[in-house]
Structure 1
């Protein structure tokens, strides 16, 4: 699965889960201990908002702080829909060989899409777990992200981008979650 296809599929799944968040779940805890549901959604929406300008050739400095703070406003689902739509459209337009400027330097735009696809998939699971939705991930998406992440896990952990590896029951979804520092049986209580 190429980066554009994977990115689109994970954004679409994220949006389905966001649309399914119950009105009373925004303050619920998530597997990301520092975030409740609203903060988790705000994080992903922020990543989605960064994608179009960076793919258009802007630098981190040029974008500045416009995506800091609360990006959800009074209607988090609508804000999420707008951001996801813009991110999906921008991702589909990535050209072979395109480069992008990220916080750590120049990177292949396809690698950036893979990073965001992984984030959408894993944070989608976080959102499902926190809001009482179906936690099952598409096995094809799990396999694609796991194959990409296998050679990057140590680097992500060393950079404090993910927590310690968790123990796993051994199935592919549980293994992917463990690689990202989560246990498949997480519960809020």
Structure 2
């Protein structure tokens, strides 16, 4: 699957889940123990907002602190929708040779899109689990992210970006979640 298509599909799924968050769930815990639902959504919205300026050639220093703090305001779903639309529009314009400046240095823009696609897929599961929605993951998206993540898992773990690996099964979605440090049986209660 083309990285732009993968990115768009994971953002679309994230947005469906965000639209389905019940009003009483914003303070619910998530599998990301440091975040409640609102903080998780704020994190993903922040990632989406970073994409357009970085793809346009700006550096992290040039972007500065404009995406720090609360990005959701009084209407988290609308803020999420606007950020997702901007991210998809920018992501769709990425060419295979494009480069981007990230916190760790210069990177292929397609690699950055893969990172964001994985973030949307896994945090989409987090959001579904925390807000009582369908936790199912699209098998095509799982396969694409799993293939990409195999060579990056230990790097992510060493950088403390993900937690310890969970128990592996024969289910590709459960195994991908385990690779990202998630327990499929997690519940907010």
What is the TM-score normalised by the length of structure 1?
0.99
What aligned pairs does 1:20-31 form with structure 2 within 5 A after superposition?
Answer: 20-31=20-31
* In 1, Cα distance between equivalents of 2:24 and 2:178: 28
Aligned residues: 189
TM-superposed deviation, 1:168:
3.2
Do structure 1's residue 158 and structure 2's residue 158 form an aligned pair?
A: yes
TM-superposed deviation, 1:188:
1.2
TM-superposed deviation, 1:167:
1.1
TM-superposed deviation, 1:169:
3.2
SS at match of 2:15: helix
Corresponding position of 2:132: 132
- CA offset digits 1:56-94 (Å, max 9, x no partner): 000000000000000000000000000000000000000
Corresponding position of 2:79: 79
* In 2, Cα distance between equivalents of 1:162 and 1:76: 25
Corresponding position of 2:54: 54
Corresponding position of 1:188: 188
- CA offset digits 1:98-154 (Å, max 9, x no partner): 000000000000000000000000000000000000000100000000000000000
* In 2, Cα distance between equivalents of 1:110 and 1:169: 30
Corresponding position of 2:34: 34
Given that 1:30 and 1:130 are in contact with CA atoms closer than 8 Å, whether structure 2 keeps it comes out as yes
* In 1, Cα distance between equivalents of 2:184 and 2:176: 9
TM-superposed deviation, 1:96:
1.7
* In 2, Cα distance between equivalents of 1:165 and 1:70: 31
TM-superposed deviation, 1:170:
2.7
Corresponding position of 2:141: 141
Q: Name structure 2 gaps, 5 residues minimum.
A: none
SS at match of 1:11: helix
Structure 1 runs of 4+ aligned residues shifted over 6 Å read none
- CA offset digits 1:12-31 (Å, max 9, x no partner): 00000000000000000000
SS at match of 2:125: helix
What is the TM-score normalised by the length of structure 2?
0.99
Corresponding position of 1:108: 108
Given that 1:168 and 1:183 are in contact with CA atoms closer than 8 Å, whether structure 2 keeps it comes out as no
